[in-house]
Chain A
Amino acid sequence: MTTFSGIQVAGLGKSFTLHNQGGTVIPVMVDGALSVGPGECVGLVGASGAGKSTLMRMIWGNYLAQAGSILVDGVDVAQAAPRQIIALRRLTLGYVSQFLRVVPRVPTLDVVAEPLRVLGVPEDQARARAATLLARLNIPERLWSLSPTTFSGGEQQRVNIARGFAHAYPALLLDEPTASLDAANREVVLSLIEEAKARGAAILGIFHDEGARNRVCDRVVDVTAFTPKAA
């Protein structure tokens, strides 16, 4: 097994074409570039609408790149076949989005254990890991057997984080992981990030919380530099 090589983005370009609105073309990124090494946490900064989430989604692969390359552990997400990206997401690349999307009625414990189950981890082991994370993130045990669809925003956010940290992904994308969390839970999330860094994960994050950003990020990348200039 070769060593994990982190994330490298170069020459990234993207525009949206709105076919049902007169074919309007909206350029959103030109020449995007960044790299995140193993054990490093890089923060994306820039005003709202500058393209932080867009860049993150292009690395995750749910937004298509029109130009450039996105290497995640050597796999170019901009060129890879769907099943290569599926394999990458199972094993290598984790993503904590701002939204929790789950099959209704599935218990929280199983929602969190699922990334491990997909990798073939036995049920009891996967659930034990899920229980540890939920307990750390202060989700009361009486809620574990319920579906998270009825939880409060902050609780859903923590379930989403637990799910994102269940498997020790070598690369992690975190979209506002500390938003809508109280001080105690914010602290737990920041230590989870620090532990992931310590085990050698490459982390790219969006943090509006400046204190959090300063504490976990080794450096920041301002996406305004990749915003297309109005002609």
Chain B
Amino acid sequence: MDGSFDLPLLAVRGGSKSYGGRIGCADVSFDLYPGEVLGIVGESGSGKSTLLSCLAGHLAPDTGEIIFQTAQGPRDTRTMSEPERRRLARTDWAFVHQNPRDGLRMGVSAGGNVGERLMAVGARHYGDIRAKAIDWLGRVEIDADRIDDRPSAFSGGMQQRLQIARNLVTGPRLVFMDEPTGGLDVSVQARLLDLLRGLVREMGLSAIIVTHDLAVVRLLADRLMVMKSGHVVEQGLTDQVLDDPQHGYTQLLVSSVLQV
């Protein structure tokens, strides 16, 4: 095992963000290691999306450190220049939005959506880009003959899979996902879960998944963080947090799930 395995890909220390006098998230600290999937759960308004936006550089946290292990060594993404952060967002990072419309260009063909991200990192050969787009559409189970259709002609589940293809085509190391299975019906959710799990394993991805669905994190996440009112109230191994919750709020959350 080489030494780099023991360095966290992302190390967060004391991350806080307020909206005026209101707490978005407060004093969040954790390490994410290569190949790990971290789930963040909590009710609406608990600060999980704020935290994800801060981590991904969409929002500027008020305090704290967010250290990302770049190819050139550890860097605090808060002190990076905007162009540097944008380059990171195009190469090492990916962001899967809950609503595919926020992550796709709806007026551009499916192939164009995937190809655009490749071109953003320097790909120029049309044949190569199209071949790679077809390969990725196949991986997310979209027929190659849909490559020239616009996402607006796709179902919600297909749009979400296209968004994932667009994000993963450049081989990122860290994927942020905001409710990736939210708003999809359960059979489509299951297919997406299987797809995500396979991709995480094959590409050795690290991922941070925000969701309110405990069944989703049980199947996808190695570790779990529970948030309430902007604070992390509990974190640990996913099955430990779900099977033996220590905090009163987590106990309430786990016991509130409807059995089917």
Contacts and interface: CB of A to CB of B under 8 A. Distances in A.
B166 to A, nearest CB: 23
Contact of B251 (A19, A63, A105, A106): A19
Interface stretch (A31-39, A80-88, A173-181): A80-88
Interface of B: 33, 36, 186-187, 190-191, 193-194, 197, 201, 218-219, 222-223, 236-237, 239-240, 242-244, 246-248, 251-252, 255
A85 B251 contact: no
B244 A62 contact: yes
Secondary structure dominating the interface of A: loop
Interface residues of A, number: 22
Contacts of B255: 20
Contacts, number: 62
B244 A105 contact: no
A104 B243 contact: no
Contacts of B248: 19-20
A64 B190 contact: no
Nearest to B243: A62
Contacts of B252: 19-20
A103 interface: yes
B201 A117 contact: yes
Interface in A100-130: 101-106, 117-118
A186 interface: no
Interface of A: 16-20, 57, 61-64, 82-83, 85-86, 101-106, 117-118
B190 A103 contact: yes
B244 A64 contact: yes
Contacts of B190: 103-105
Given A101-B219, A103-B194, A106-B194, A86 B244 contact: no
25 contacts: A17-B246, A19-B247, A19-B252, A20-B248, A20-B252, A20-B255, A61-B237, A61-B240, A62-B244, A64-B240, A64-B246, A82-B237, A83-B33, A83-B222, A85-B237, A101-B219, A102-B219, A103-B193, A103-B194, A104-B187, A105-B187, A105-B190, A105-B191, A106-B194, A118-B201
A102 B194 CA distance: 10
Contacts of A101: 218-219
